[in-house]
Amino acid sequence: MDFYEIVKKRRSIREFQSRPVEEEKLLRVLDAGLKAPSHNHQREWEFILLKNIERRKEVLEVEPSSHDFSSEEINDWTEGMTDQLEKEMYLKALPVQKRMLLSAPEVLVICFKMRKALGNCKTLFDLNSFASVWCCIENILLALAAEGLYGVTKIPYDTMALKKALNIPEDYEVAAIIPIGYPQKHVIKQKSVSLQQKMHFDRW
């Protein structure tokens, strides 16, 4: 498939068919993740696949942001939003934050080595390992699209508890949790951004 078509095809999907994901596709996708650039040439990334539904539930129990938001919480969250597409996204996404992780045929936890504890990071340079893992994540999202698969990046709030629940070594962090599968519902309209308005020449 043409690269630019894949870029267009990639979208965040939160509702999945029960159809299982073929193992060979998943392996190709993860391997594409490992081809991404990394700041120190080390690609210090690890993948945990949460196969067992009971394990998923245990993990979700310690991850406070992974609950399906009530209508009251959704109202509070979206109340002051003026951008209609942003609001629409939250209205559709917030009620399924837990469900998407329990119903997806695959759930991938992406970990990365964080040599300096977050509290000791003072410059963006210190966050290079975090920047690098997002290169890996984007490769994975694009590779999923190339395979006809979809996912969405869920960022955990409380990684301490999550790390403990998943037995993740101290010097590793969780970058994202990605439910993966074949899409069930039509996606939310993507906000279009004009390239012309984003470009600057010689100075901002």
Ligand X SMILES: Cc1cc2nc3c(=O)[nH]c(=O)nc-3n(C[C@H](O)[C@H](O)[C@H](O)COP(=O)(O)O)c2cc1C
Residue 112: name the closest of 35, 169, 179, 27 by CA.
Answer: 169
Q: Which is nearer to ligand X, 23 or 162 (CB)?
A: 162
Query: Nearer to ligand X by C-beta: 27 or 85?
Result: 85
Residue in 155, 157, 160, 189 binding ligand X, rule: CB under 6 A: 155
**Taking CB under 6 A as the rule, which mask of x and - marks residues 77-96 in contact with ligand X?**
------------x---x---
Give the span between the Cα atoms of 90 and 185, in whole angstroms. 16
Give the N- to C-terminal CA distance of the chain in Å, as an integer.
36
Residues sharing a CB contact under 8 Å with residue 109, sequence separation 6 or more, in sequence order: 47, 48, 49, 50, 166, 174, 176, 177, 178
Task: Residue 100: name the closest of 126, 134, 130, 66 by CA.
Answer: 66
Any contact of residue 12 with ligand X (CB under 6 A)?
Answer: yes
Residue whose CB is nearest to ligand X in the complex, by number: 12
Part in contact with ligand X (CB under 6 A); list of ranges 26-34, 117-125, 152-160, 164-172:
152-160
User: Which span (28-36, 54-62, 124-132, 153-161) binds ligand X, by CB under 6 A?
Assistant: 153-161
Whole-number minimum distance, CB 197 to ligand X, in Å? Answer: 18
184 lines the binding site for ligand X (CB under 6 A) = no
Asked if 154 interacts with ligand X (CB under 6 A), we say yes
Question: Which residues on adjacent β-strands are paired with residue 107?
Answer: 179
| DSSP-based three-state secondary structure for 95 | helix
Candidate residues 9, 11, 43, 67; the one interacting with ligand X per rule CB under 6 A: 11
